[in-house]
Amino acid sequence: MAPRRRQCGAMAEFERLLEEQPSFRGNQQRAELFTARAVTSGEAERVARRLITVPVVVHVVHHTEQEDVSAAQIKSQIDVLNQDFRATNPDTSTVPAPWRGLVDDARIEFRLATKDPVGTRTDGIVRVRTERRSFGPGDDVKRAGRGGSPAWPTDAYLNIWVCTLRDGLLGYAQFPGGPKATDGVVVLNTAIGTEGTAAAPFDGGRTLTHEIGHWLNLRHIWGDTLDCSGGDRVPDTPNCEGPNTGRPTFPVITCSNGPHGDMFMNYMDYVDDAAMCMFTAGQVTRMNACLAGPRRSFVGAS
């Protein structure tokens, strides 16, 4: 049965890497220091002056024929990403008036790879039949020996794995600074694109928008605490108490953030696909800083 509530495993993966990969903590600390410097020095702004195109390879790891999602479904997902990251998605019209001026174009686009790592023409889709009926968080889906598909070079391609995930998980991403061999994003095969196996309420392609936000170093807007002590390190997203789910009605006030309350329509909250529709200018700056620093190989490839 398809999940009814958004559940993202990115922060659980973040904590796992902190425990298992000694270099990850230092890499993340350096990424945060670089982000602060890039914002004030103008390095992030310089990245934003040009359109960055990210080559994508999609690994479809399937046990059944139904799980082998179609090229058309994958293409529908790429179309959603390109609207969402360019702020051309029609539902930006639903952003409440107080925040419409914060909606911003990240100047990032995604395209399925046309050449594989050795230069052979490709449609950017790798299909792997697995004996495994499902995967959990972690790296199994990224390893051939564990029933998955190994990554293409992660400094040249955004690797996206599509599979059956268990325990209600919709997806997860690896933050910058983790192991190169497992870098990328994983998404449930009923939460990709807008057709085929995509199932409501996660049939709008926004799970990958959310997870790629993490891949570009964005945090959840509530800072992953269960009180008002957290924060996402972005100044123009109001602090909020915890995740919003479903399709809330504006305003939702927590953490003394009235009169406008939580920015629940932000891609980095937990609402249904139909309720999320924006990145802020501050989030765009943070993503641009990531492209100027930890993920700068994608700027050179554009």
Q: Dump pLDDT digits (tens) for 207-255.
A: 999 999 999 999 999 999 989 998 999 999 999 999 999 999 999 999 9
**Would you give the distance in Å from CA 21 to the centre of its chain?**
21
- For every residue of 225-249, DSSP letters joined together read -SSSS---S-TTS---SS---S---
Q: Is the pLDDT of residue 2 over 60?
A: yes
Q: pLDDT tens for residues 96-117?
A: 999 999 999 999 999 999 999 9
Instruction: Using alpha carbons, select from 5, 128, 7 the residue that is nearest to residue 59.
Output: 128
Q: How many CA atoms lie within 13 A of 60 on its CB side?
A: 20
Q: pLDDT tens for residues 24-66?
A: 999 999 999 999 999 999 999 999 899 999 999 999 999 999 9
Residues 6+ apart with CB under 8 A from 117: 152, 153, 156
Which of the following is catalytic: 13, 43, 67, 211?
A: 211
Task: Write the DSSP symbol of residue 174.
Answer: P
Say whether 211 is catalytic.
yes
Q: Is 24 in contact with 177 (CB distance < 8 Å)?
A: yes
Q: Is 298 in contact with 290 (CB distance < 8 Å)?
A: no
- For every residue of 112-159, DSSP letters joined together read E-SB-TTS-B--SEEEEE-S-S-B-SSSGGG-GGGTS-PPPPTTT-EE
Task: Please state which architecture CATH assigns to domain 10-220+281-288.
Answer: 3-Layer(aba) Sandwich (3.40)
Q: Which helix (H) or strand (E) element contains residue 62?
A: strand 52-62
Q: Quote the pTM value.
A: 0.98
Please state the domain extents for the chain: 10-220+281-288
